[in-house]
Amino acid sequence: MTASSIANTDQRVVIIDTGCANVSSVRFAIERLGYQVQISKDPQVVLAADKLFLPGVGTASEAMHNLEQRDLIALVKQVTKPLLGICLGMQLLGKQSQEHGQNGSELVPCLGLCDAMVEKINAPELPLPHMGWNTITPQVNHPLFNNIPAGSYFYFVHSYAMPVFDHRDSQGGATIATTEYGQPFTAAVQNGNFYGVQFHPERSSKAGAQLIKNFLEL
């Protein structure tokens, strides 16, 4: 084993314990790459991590309620190391979401770490949720997509998405990959140390494993 690979796998990797159902599958995907990983909501553990994952399934309203109950909203905003939101975890990085579940019709305030709304997918001739394999078009030379061949497929399950946006001038982040489903939407996003992917890399075979590896090696 080389010195560089020892340094890579010796990182403190933490999955933020949001209480959602896909935490274990994300953990297994990381461990398969040779990394040790903790699942925690302890502020000392979270803020000492070198890389963090924010998973999420369900609705935005339920997820934000869970984050509030676990005292995670302010904590996530304090993170200065690279953090990757997955699926709903990516959507929670936005400003507000239309996905209110059964609790009402008002917009759901999210973490506000990216200057983007989360809206219901506008694809009237296609079924929702957008579920299954689809290709992405990444930003040229973005390190999150190193060694992932053009036309690679990733696994999606969602009915809401961020539109394609670019607010880098105002430090609000930008779309770094798109996918087509009726119309283009944001498949991956970045604002500073905060990254997000709308698809499930832990369920996306070799391409998904490569993306997780790329994130861990940023």
Active-site annotation, residues:
87, 200, 202
Q: End-to-end CA distance of the chain: give it in Å, rounded.
A: 19
Distances 80 to 47, 50, 83, 191, 201 between C-alpha atoms, Å: 8, 9, 8, 12, 23
Cβ neighbours around 117 below 10 Å, total: 18
The tokens 């709903």 sit on which residue? 88
In a 13 Å sphere around the CA of 189, the CA atoms on its Cβ side amount to 35
In a 13 Å sphere around the CA of 72, the CA atoms on its Cβ side amount to 24
* Cα–Cα distance measured from residue 136 to residue 41, given in angstroms and rounded to the nearest whole number: 32
* Cα–Cα distance measured from residue 117 to residue 98, given in angstroms and rounded to the nearest whole number: 8
